[in-house]
């Protein structure tokens, strides 16, 4: 009896020794660099540099990596999500919208939330989810059937579930919400289904809408005049990815999707604001401070589905607040993020649709590059010079890293046919992937990890692949880049030179952005491949 009591007392002490996990406050996310062992928001920090201060694993010892554990999802759909890591617990999403909480040391599961889809949900390119947000002790997820689901981070129990958008109209929620102060910022996907895109701020307590910014402005709103007729009603403008935030300027930045229909611009004459743009908003009110449109009147599906990378550094002799952006349209931009002023732009892949950019950053289009009935071959191809996968920036090297695709597509113009909830694209391009077409000479293409100099726009080095990469890039203070490829390789490169330090065949398409964190005080790297997440650490 005494032994039993002693055991119970010991067990209670043991439980007390387990970290209880402090609440995740806005201040913790704001100061994420103070706790580099965690990953508290989609890009880890609000500047979205996708760079970690952790350096236990570095270019000297990265060859000693060993597999620590693997998480095999129940779903066979590939991961595109970035997990959160909070005080020793990993929160991941199995496609489409099941959430799991895992022990960061062992990979064993604490709990699982299974989301039951109500009816159909049309998504452009797979039933994907790209991640979660956490505030307090609550996790937040947008679902492909249009709900905001709030879960208890300790048990996975539903706190509330609220319908935000209507999936029967082609709307879906795929990106990780962004926690800003006392709000969640969220936008809708569905640009290939004729939605009218928007960003909303929601109350984390109940999902109530606090403000709305229309990506496609309606009558009376500035920018509405850039849409002919009633094309604005189904003008697209998805939000596919989580935005960034500058607390000093109190501005949040979001990339917006393509206008609809994608490949026939005749029915939506004008610049089609605010598609293919970055919008800078006051997060308290949703007020637009400035915008910069990368591709006015897009006819190639070059949405600005990239993460705004915020960097403070010297620019022409002065310290400036910059934004760096390698865009799907093939140009690498540097903007002043206080004003939206265009500072520099240069193509980082072959570009044949524009002669270049004018002094304001507006593309000088080549009219013959527009899609035609017969087809027009244009670079970049329809997946773009890059796409949704996170780029990275390292202050140590001063370089911007991007996963680039170098190839072309034939763009056809067809008749756009709008029916509610269905695809609304206006024909299609030929050559969605490189090296798959019969006309082999013209379909040669490949992917590469490219390091760009922000001050010149020039490429400093590249790691060329035979295939292509659609994996985000993680930079660390260990002077390494961790990324992957559709071929199934996890890749580690030297961030100064691009030298390939490690390549491991994980067997499935690597799509999600790698993350790094600590487990039991040791640095870990998580790379997803297919529907599994592989976690590596140094050999013990």
Partner 1 sequence: MRFRHAVFLLAAALAALPALGQHADDTIKNPFTSNSDVEAGGRLYRSHCAVCHGIEGEGARGANLTTGLFRHGASDRDIFNTISVGIPGTEMPGIFFNGRQMWQLVAFVRSLSQGRAAGQVEGDIENGRSIFLAKGCNGCHRVQGEGGRMGPDLSDIGAMRSLGHLQAAVLRPNEAVFPQHWMVRAKTNSGKQVSGMRMNEDTFSVQLIDAAGYLVSLRKQDLAEFEVDRNSGMPAFEGQIQGSDFDDLIAYLASLRLREGTNETE
Catalytic residue set = 301
How many residues bind to partner 1 according to rule CB under 8 A? 43
Q: How far is the CB of 515 from partner 1 (least distance, A)?
A: 23
Q: Which token pair is 17? A: 């020794």
Cβ atoms within 10 A of the Cβ of 388, count?
A: 24
Q: How far is the CB of 528 from partner 1 (least distance, A)?
A: 16
Give DSSP secondary structure letters for 301-342: -----SPPEEEEEEETTEEEEEEEEE-TTSEEEEEETTT--E
Tell me if residue 82 falls in helix, strand or coil. Answer: strand
- Residue 39 or 489 with smaller CB distance to partner 1: 489
**454-477 burial, b if ≥16 CB within 10 A, otherwise e?**
beebebbbbbebebbbbbbbbbbb
Residues 177 and 134: beta-carbon distance below 8 Å: no
Residues 481 and 19: beta-carbon distance below 8 Å: no
Q: Which stretch binds partner 1 (CB under 8 A): 22-30, 179-187, 333-341, 461-469?
A: 461-469
Q: Select from 111, 342, 433, 496 the one that contacts partner 1 (CB under 8 A).
A: 433
Residues 500 and 489: beta-carbon distance below 8 Å: no
Q: Select from 127, 154, 313, 396 the one that contacts partner 1 (CB under 8 A).
A: 127
Length of the chain: 540
Give ∠ CA 367-427-213 in degrees, rounded to 5: 80
Q: Which token pair is 513? A: 């952005």
Examine residue 122 and tell whether it contacts partner 1 (CB under 8 A). yes
Q: Which stretch binds partner 1 (CB under 8 A): 43-51, 59-67, 474-482, 486-494?
A: 486-494
Q: How far is the CB of 480 from partner 1 (least distance, A)?
A: 18
Q: Which of residues 67-106 bind partner 1 (CB under 8 A)?
A: 75-77
Examine residue 465 and tell whether it contacts partner 1 (CB under 8 A). yes
Q: Select from 111, 430, 453, 532 the one that contacts partner 1 (CB under 8 A).
A: 430
- Residue 88 or 434 with smaller CB distance to partner 1: 434
- Residue 124 or 519 with smaller CB distance to partner 1: 124
- SS3 breakdown of the chain: % helix, strand, coil, rounded to 5? 10, 40, 50
- Residue 66 or 441 with smaller CB distance to partner 1: 441
Residues 296 and 304: beta-carbon distance below 8 Å: no
Residues 292 and 331: beta-carbon distance below 8 Å: no
- Residue 400's nearest CA partner among 333, 446, 351 is 333
Give DSSP secondary structure letters for 230-253: TGGGG-B----S--EEETTTTEEE
CA distance 415 to 424: 10
Q: Binding string to partner 1 for residues 164 to 193, with x set by CB under 8 A, is what? A: ----x-------------------------
Distances (CA, A) of 60 to 56, 57, 261, 518, 539: 10, 8, 50, 19, 13
Examine residue 503 and tell whether it contacts partner 1 (CB under 8 A). yes
- Residue 210 or 504 with smaller CB distance to partner 1: 504
Q: Which stretch binds partner 1 (CB under 8 A): 22-30, 103-111, 269-277, 460-468?
A: 460-468
Q: How far is the CB of 463 from partner 1 (least distance, A)?
A: 9
CA distance 339 to 291: 9
- Residue 236 or 537 with smaller CB distance to partner 1: 236
Examine residue 56 and tell whether it contacts partner 1 (CB under 8 A). no
Of the chain, the end-to-end C-alpha distance in Å amounts to 41
Examine residue 421 and tell whether it contacts partner 1 (CB under 8 A). yes
Examine residue 428 and tell whether it contacts partner 1 (CB under 8 A). yes
CA distance 300 to 258: 9
- Residue 24 or 493 with smaller CB distance to partner 1: 493
Examine residue 270 and tell whether it contacts partner 1 (CB under 8 A). no
Q: How far is the CB of 469 from partner 1 (least distance, A)?
A: 9
Examine residue 453 and tell whether it contacts partner 1 (CB under 8 A). no
Q: Select from 23, 106, 372, 422 the one that contacts partner 1 (CB under 8 A).
A: 422
Q: How far is the CB of 287 from partner 1 (least distance, A)?
A: 35
Residues 465 and 448: beta-carbon distance below 8 Å: yes
* Secondary structure letter of residue 467 according to DSSP: S
The residue written with tokens 């920036």 in the block is: 393
Examine residue 266 and tell whether it contacts partner 1 (CB under 8 A). no
Q: How far is the CB of 532 from partner 1 (least distance, A)?
A: 15
Q: Select from 236, 416, 478, 537 the one that contacts partner 1 (CB under 8 A).
A: 416
Q: How far is the CB of 468 from partner 1 (least distance, A)?
A: 10
Examine residue 438 and tell whether it contacts partner 1 (CB under 8 A). yes
Tell how strand 133-135 and strand 51-52 pair up.
unpaired
Q: How far is the CB of 447 from partner 1 (least distance, A)?
A: 9
Examine residue 425 and tell whether it contacts partner 1 (CB under 8 A). yes
The residue written with tokens 């597999």 in the block is: 67
Tell me if residue 538 falls in helix, strand or coil. Answer: strand
Examine residue 467 and tell whether it contacts partner 1 (CB under 8 A). yes
CA distance 524 to 150: 28
Q: How far is the CB of 417 from partner 1 (least distance, A)?
A: 5
- Residue 95 or 324 with smaller CB distance to partner 1: 95
Examine residue 12 and tell whether it contacts partner 1 (CB under 8 A). no
Examine residue 487 and tell whether it contacts partner 1 (CB under 8 A). yes
Residues lying near partner 1 in the complex (CB under 8 A): 75-77, 120-123, 125-127, 168, 414-417, 419-423, 425-430, 432-433, 435-436, 438, 440-441, 444, 464-467, 485, 487-489, 503
């Amino acid at each position: 009896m005494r032994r039993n009591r002693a055991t119970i007392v010991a067990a209670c002490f043991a439980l007390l020794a387990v970290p209880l996990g402090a609440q995740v406050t806005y201040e913790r996310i704001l100061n994420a660099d103070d706790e580099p062992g965690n990953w508290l928001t989609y890009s880890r920090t609000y500047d979205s540099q996708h760079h970690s201060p952790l350096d236990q694993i570095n270019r000297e010892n990265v060859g000693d990596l060993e597999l620590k554990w693997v998480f095999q999802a129940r779903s066979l759909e590939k991961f595109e999500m970035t997990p959160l890591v909070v005080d020793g617990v990993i929160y991941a999403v199995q496609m489409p919208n099941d959430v799991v909480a895992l022990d960061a040391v062992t990979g064993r599961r604490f709990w699982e939330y299974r989301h039951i889809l109500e009816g159909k949900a049309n998504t452009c390119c797979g039933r994907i989810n790209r991640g979660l947000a956490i505030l307090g002790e609550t996790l937040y997820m947008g679902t492909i059937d249009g709900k905001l689901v709030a879960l208890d981070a300790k048990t996975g129990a539903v706190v509330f579930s609220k319908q935000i958008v209507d999936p029967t109209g082609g709307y879906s929620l795929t990106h990780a919400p962004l926690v800003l102060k006392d709000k969640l910022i969220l936008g809708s996907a569905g640009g290939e289904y004729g939605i009218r895109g928007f960003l909303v701020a929601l109350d984390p307590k109940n999902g109530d809408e606090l403000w709305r910014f229309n990506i496609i402005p309606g009558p009376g709103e500035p920018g509405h005049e850039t849409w002919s007729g009633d094309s604005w009603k189904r003008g697209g403008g998805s939000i596919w990815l989580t935005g960034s935030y500058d607390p000093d300027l109190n501005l949040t930045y979001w990339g917006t999707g393509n206008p609809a229909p994608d490949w026939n611009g005749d029915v939506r004459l004008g610049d089609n604001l605010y598609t293919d743009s970055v919008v800078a908003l006051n997060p308290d009110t949703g007020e637009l401070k400035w915008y910069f449109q990368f591709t006015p009147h897009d006819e190639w599906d070059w949405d600005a589905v990239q993460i705004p990378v915020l960097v403070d550094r010297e620019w022409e002799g002065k310290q400036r607040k910059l934004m760096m952006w390698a865009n799907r349209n093939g140009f690498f931009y540097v903007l002043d993020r206080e004003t939206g002023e265009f500072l520099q732009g240069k193509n980082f892949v072959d570009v044949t649709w524009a002669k270049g950019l004018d002094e304001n950053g507006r593309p000088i289009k080549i009219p013959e590059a527009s899609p035609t009935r017969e087809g027009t071959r244009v670079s970049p191809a329809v997946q773009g010079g890059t796409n949704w996968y996170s780029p990275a920036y390292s202050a140590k090297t001063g370089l911007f890293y991007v996963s680039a695709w170098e190839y072309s597509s034939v763009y056809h113009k067809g008749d756009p046919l709008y029916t509610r909830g269905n695809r609304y694209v206006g024909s299609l391009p030929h050559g969605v992937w490189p090296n798959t077409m019969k006309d082999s000479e013209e379909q040669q293409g490949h992917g590469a990890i490219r390091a760009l100099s922000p001050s010149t726009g020039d490429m400093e080095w590249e790691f060329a692949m035979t295939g292509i990469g659609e994996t985000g890039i993680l930079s660390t203070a260990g002077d390494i880049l961790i990324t992957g490829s559709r071929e199934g390789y996890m890749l580690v490169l030297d961030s100064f030179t691009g030298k390939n330090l490690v390549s491991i065949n994980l067997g499935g398409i690597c799509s999600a952005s790698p993350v790094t964190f600590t487990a039991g005080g040791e640095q870990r790297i998580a790379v997803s491949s297919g529907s599994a997440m592989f976690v590596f650490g140094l050999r013990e």
